[in-house]
Chains A and B, each alone.
Chain A
């Protein structure tokens, strides 16, 4: 690789990592509001995050909402994706477009829509309302991930299973589902993160009872700029980092176990 390309690469990494380099020290700060560089180091704001109900309740709300959003999204998107990828029917292209629509409409427009429409349905300021709205927003990305994977799925695998004596239901349980499991997990993760992350719609319709974490952070930064925000950001980063590293760690241990077991079966050499 030539030197200038390498330099650009380093700049890009620094640029992407810069917010982290600022947020992590701020979370350890002694100052009363968000301030960089921190005047002193202290773990007190971690303690206050884990003890203050005004932070824990929105965290719990966000988790509950993200969980049910994921559940509902998958319940809708999995059958829809199978239908759209595998079957031909009248109005298919319109259906395809509708699945992706929320991606094209600005969140603020959606939020205003939900605010007035959910008002009539008495769904404003309720977790149910937020779950419904977040599900709409999660559908396109989940659908995109899943349909890309389903298109690459070799249907001969299912045919082979049928010929070997499996009913369509057994084929789904024993073959289709296990092979698609990684892509199902990833698309569910996308739905979860999309909901957990979402601010604009939550600002409009979550209200006090269903207040989500991003909304609470947004309110906080406008009012007192509580360093707890930096704590939460740091914790979220750690969770994501762990989630990303977990598969690598698992693969590594599996490989080590495999080499260990292979050494004990000398017959297998070709």
Chain B
């Protein structure tokens, strides 16, 4: 596959502050890529550089082999949906969607017809004559999406578009956006700080922190095979245990909490004996029992708190001073109560190592 959107060595300085530190990224045509990271991590800056609202201090951005350098935002043919939708309040929904066509000298009658078609595609048939303030948040969102797509852009950029919606509507819009994106096949960059949004929508997730790409990969790879401590900690619930590599060739490490531990090898950075690392264990990949389970790796812990969610329960225990979080299915939790001594167990392939 060839790269459709290419960022190479993109750097952004604000005085002495480095907002983006030589970012490289390839996005394929039709791909849905999410930029995930905390605020100030550089994800929005990257988006603004692609859109042309910020200039990179250094580096190049290409779409379909064409450099975007020196192209004004209006000449880039990129659709953007902003967090607050940025609908034009003095124009109706249909006129909003017609605007990019109007700027491309499409006749009003034809443009409004195409706008109406697009509104139908996003599920707003018959709402064209309404002004933005007469629409609900979710409807405004759909108008903004229709407006960003009606001129068949080369790229669709979504800047935290679901942040202002309540939970139910957000989940509904996630599905809607995915459906529309698939149908039109438009290459999409989605910016969010919400990891569940990133997980459920993306073909690929790019995790940003402090102006660097920490890791880029498929959602489940990011979740199960984090490459840095930041990614392990930021995505999902995690147990991180400090450890020292005892035998790199045999994939063994010594942890004060877990004892002598074997770890999975796939996708690991090269490690040396004696190297300080952190072991990653997801709460749902561990089990609790009264006694050690033969064939699994075991460690002792004291149950401290049990939080019930109905379908599952989170058990927080301690080994010495270190908390251990284990997620159990609803049915499994009844055998335990707070204050019990228990054994936590796991298999070798659940343990990943990240550098400290």
Contacts and interface: CB of A to CB of B under 8 A. Distances in A.
Interface residues of B, number: 27
Given A159-B86, A160-B86, A167 B74 contact: yes
B100 A164 contact: yes
Interface string A228-270: 0000000000000000000000000000000000000101100
Interface of A: 154, 156-157, 159-167, 170, 174-175, 178-179, 265, 267-268
A157 B51 CA distance: 14
B89 A170 contact: no
B79 interface: yes
Interface of B: 51-53, 72-74, 76-80, 82, 84, 86, 88-90, 99-100, 102-104, 126-127, 147-148, 151
A165 B126 contact: no
Given A156-B84, A160-B82, A267-B126, A165 B103 contact: yes
Contacts of A267: 126
B86 A154 contact: yes
Given A170-B103, A179-B88, A179-B90, A163 B126 contact: no
Nearest to B128: A268
Given A179-B89, A268-B126, A163 B80 contact: yes
B103 A166 contact: yes
A157 B87 CA distance: 7
Given A163-B52, A164-B99, 14 more contacts: A159-B51, A159-B82, A159-B86, A160-B88, A160-B147, A162-B53, A163-B79, A164-B74, A164-B100, A164-B103, A165-B151, A166-B103, A179-B90, A268-B127
B121 to A, nearest CB: 17
Contacts, number: 65
- Chain A residues touching B, majority SS: helix
15 contacts: A157-B88, A159-B51, A160-B86, A162-B73, A163-B51, A163-B52, A163-B76, A163-B80, A163-B148, A165-B77, A166-B74, A166-B99, A170-B103, A174-B102, A179-B90
Contacts of B88: 157, 160-161, 175, 179
Contacts of B86: 154, 156-157, 159-160
Contacts of B99: 161, 164, 166, 174
B126 A159 contact: no
A166 B77 CA distance: 11
A172 to B, nearest CB: 13
Nearest to A158: B86
A145 B52 CA distance: 32
A164 B150 CA distance: 10
Contact of B73 (A156, A159, A170, A175): A159
Contacts of A166: 74, 99, 103
A149 to B, nearest CB: 13
A163 B79 CA distance: 6
Contacts of B79: 163-164
Contacts of A167: 72, 74
A87 to B, nearest CB: 16
A41 B100 CA distance: 64
A161 B74 CA distance: 8
Contacts of B52: 162-163
Given A164-B151, A175-B88, A179-B88, A159 B80 contact: yes
Contacts of B74: 162-167
Contacts of A268: 126-127
A159 B53 contact: yes
Contact of A163 (B73, B84, B104, B127): B73
